[in-house]
């Protein structure tokens, strides 16, 4: 059975898989490092012998062999194609990694991003030759401000965490402008937050004060009020939060934070559940990053660079970083500096052009109603999984509807000898990328599942059937099988602790393969 097909026969009994001579497993080919292929004493291309020359490197000249790989074209081809086949990707199957929003990247986005006028430009080109690209950045910026109800947007941050840095630097600049830098140096962060939030605050010199989430998984306005004090510069709150729940007190929290003279940073990585439904600016947010690679569907993770534009409220707009695009008569120009209160530059250039193009293509091809429907479908899909799995898995916060992702804990595994990690490994055998596990930390043995709007009902039903079957096998006491999973992957259970504690960081050449003795 695989994720494309339907189960046709009962699962085979799997003992340890027999070893093969090549170590390959069916058509999954073992792949060595590039240095382990071909020969190091030849090259794969014909190069003329260099003309006689006198080396001018003195005693820096290399005396031993350089050891570069010498692959022929087919060898090089196979090496990289095999490596590319080791990636599991959203294009290969369902990728329910909670909080990461692994949704389909429509191919029209790719076609647009590859147009030479966007793909082949250089950030130092004369502005008169890139008017279309600047117009695209300006158009995307307007959509982002429109969808979030905010006054300004910094386009240059290159990922969500980088956006957090940008927003918090704007907040710090605003506090410095008020002459309160010495006294306001604490940032409130709920204990359910993504790890990047406290890391960002600490990186730019704030002390982090933790706010406990309530028993229902959200942050209460009372908990925030109790933590607010004259030393608080800002709160960093995620909505929907990392438990997949909408923070119901958000408007009151924003008011309390503002009354205390602090700013409200919203981690907007999960904006894909809100776009077209609610505008963060209306909820009192001062700064929020938007992960274009999540909400507006551009490749991310190991698959490509992200982009994390930051929208800003009217109060923070003057502190936005340079550069930004400005309309100038019929054209556009880049404002590189000169605004007195701007905190300066965040990156060398203007942001990720390819991601901007893909995100705007996603917006324009969906239209406003389509974006709203994408949010609704993402939430519907997560709740479909929640409803279908809640009688086999345990939910930490009761039967409450979720937003774009559904969170289970490991209570249902109590007494079975099977852990969340074992479940994740068993999913690999079934052809699924595991869900996010052990995050958020406020839930024991967390399993965070985000199907996204791009999965069909057929695909969700097969996933549900698989997860139910896994739960039945666990209850039946098939424990050993779970401890050994994954059984079908090229590598079985890894010793993750040893890998972390005793990493082998130096490559040593392998022994040559011994040919089998003649019969
Ligand atoms: C993904 C995510 C981030 C970080 O975004 P990156 O683009 O990976 O840096 C921050 N907060 C939350 C809640 C996220 O889901």
Give the per-residue pLDDT at 41. Answer: 76
Give the per-residue pLDDT at 337. Answer: 80
Q: Which residues have C-beta atoms less than 6 Å from ligand 1?
A: 99, 159-161, 194, 196, 238, 242, 267, 269-270, 291, 306, 308
Give the per-residue pLDDT at 61. Answer: 87
Give the per-residue pLDDT at 67. Answer: 78
- Torsional sign, CA 32, 500, 489, 23: positive
Rg (CA), the chain: 26
- Given the CA of residue 238, which atom of ligand 1 is nearest to it? 13
- Given the CA of residue 163, which atom of ligand 1 is nearest to it? 9
Helix (H, G, I), strand (E, B) or coil at 74: helix
Cα of 399 vs centre of ligand 1, distance in Å, is: 26
Residue 236: in which H helix or E strand, if any? Answer: strand 232-238
The residue whose CA has the least distance to atom 12 of ligand 1 is 269
| Structural domains present in the chain | 108-364 (3.40.640.10), 409-489 (3.90.1150.10)
**Which of 269, 298, 304, 378 for mutating ligand 1's site (highest number of atoms within 8 Å of CB)?**
269
- Nearest one of 187, 227, 183 to 204, comparing CA atoms: 187
pLDDT tens, residue order, the chain (519 aa): 344 444 444 444 445 567 889 888 888 899 988 888 877 777 778 888 889 988 899 999 888 887 788 888 899 999 999 998 888 889 999 999 999 999 999 999 999 999 999 999 999 999 999 999 999 999 999 999 999 999 999 999 999 999 999 999 999 999 999 999 999 999 999 998 999 999 999 999 999 999 999 999 999 999 999 999 999 999 999 999 999 999 999 999 999 999 999 999 999 999 999 999 999 999 999 999 999 999 999 888 654 578 999 999 999 999 999 999 999 899 999 998 878 899 999 998 999 999 999 999 999 999 999 999 999 999 999 999 999 999 999 999 988 999 999 999 999 999 999 999 999 999 999 999 999 999 999 999 999 999 999 999 999 999 999 999 999 999 999 999 999 999 998 889 999 899 999 999 988 876 665 556 654
Spell out where 20-114 has E strands. none
- Nearest one of 248, 320, 287, 245 to 160, comparing CA atoms: 287
Residue 494: exposed, middle, or buried by beta-carbon count in 10 A (0-12, 13-18, 19+)? Answer: exposed
Q: How far is CA 193 from CA 67, 218, 242, in A?
A: 47, 11, 7
Does this model's pTM top 0.75?
Answer: yes
Cα of 510 vs centre of ligand 1, distance in Å, is: 39
- Given the CA of residue 300, which atom of ligand 1 is nearest to it? 7
């Amino acid at each position: 059975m695989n994720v494309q097909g339907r189960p046709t026969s009962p699962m085979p009994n799997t003992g340890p898989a027999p070893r093969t001579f090549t170590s390959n497993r069916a058509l999954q080919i073992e792949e060595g490092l590039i240095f382990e292929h071909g020969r190091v004493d030849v090259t794969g291309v014909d190069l003329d012998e260099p003309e006689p020359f006198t080396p001018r490197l003195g005693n820096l000249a290399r005396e031993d062999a350089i050891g570069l790989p010498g692959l022929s074209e087919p060898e090089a081809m196979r090496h990289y194609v095999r490596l590319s086949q080791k990636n599991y990707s959203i294009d290969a199957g369902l990728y329910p990694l909670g909080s990461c929003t692994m949704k389909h990247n429509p191919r029209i986005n790719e076609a647009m991003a590859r147009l030479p006028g966007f793909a082949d430009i250089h950030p130092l080109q004369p502005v008169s030759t890139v008017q279309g690209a600047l117009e695209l950045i300006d158009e995307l910026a307007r959509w982002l401000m429109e969808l979030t109800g905010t006054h300004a947007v910094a386009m240059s941050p290159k990922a969500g965490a980088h956006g957090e840095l940008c927003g918090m630097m704007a907040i710090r600049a605003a506090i410095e402008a008020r002459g309160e830098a010495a006294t306001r140096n604490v940032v409130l962060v709920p204990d359910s937050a993504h790890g990047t939030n406290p890391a960002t605050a600490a990186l730019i010199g704030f002390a982090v004060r933790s706010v406990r989430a309530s028993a229902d998984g959200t942050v209460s306005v009372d908990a925030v009020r109790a933590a607010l004090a004259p030393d608080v510069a800002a709160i960093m709150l995620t909505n929907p939060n990392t438990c997949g729940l909408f923070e119901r007190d958000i408007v009151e929290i924003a008011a309390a934070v503002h009354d205390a003279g602090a700013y409200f940073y919203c981690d907007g990585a999960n904006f894909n559940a809100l776009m077209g439904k609610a505008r963060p600016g209306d909820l009192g947010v001062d700064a929020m990053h938007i992960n274009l690679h999540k909400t507006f569907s551009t490749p991310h993770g190991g698959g490509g660079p992200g982009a994390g534009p930051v929208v800003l409220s009217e109060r923070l707009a003057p502190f936005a970083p340079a550069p930004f695009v400005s309309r100038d008569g019929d054209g556009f120009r880049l404002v590189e500096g000169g605004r007195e209160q701007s905190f300066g530059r965040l990156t060398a250039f203007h942001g990720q052009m390819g991601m901007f193009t893909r995100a705007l293509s996603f917006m324009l091809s969906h239209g406003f109603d389509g974006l709203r429907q994408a949010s609704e479908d993402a939430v519907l899909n997560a709740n479909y999984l929640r409803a279908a799995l809640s009688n086999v898995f345990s939910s930490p916060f009761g039967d409450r509807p979720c937003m774009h992702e559904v969170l289970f804990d490991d209570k249902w595994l109590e007494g079975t000898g099977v852990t969340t990690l074992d479940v994740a490994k068993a999913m690999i055998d079934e052809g699924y990328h595991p869900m996010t596990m052990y995050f958020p930390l406020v839930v024991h043995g967390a399993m965070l599942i985000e199907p996204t709007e791009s999965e069909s009902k057929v695909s969700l039903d097969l996933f549900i059937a698989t997860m139910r079957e896994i739960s039945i096998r666990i209850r039946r006491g098939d424990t050993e099988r779970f401890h050994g999973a994954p059984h079908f992957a090229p590598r079985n259970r890894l010793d993750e602790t040893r890998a972390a504690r005793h990493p082998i960081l130096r490559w040593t050449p392998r022994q040559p393969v011994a040919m089998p003795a003649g019969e």
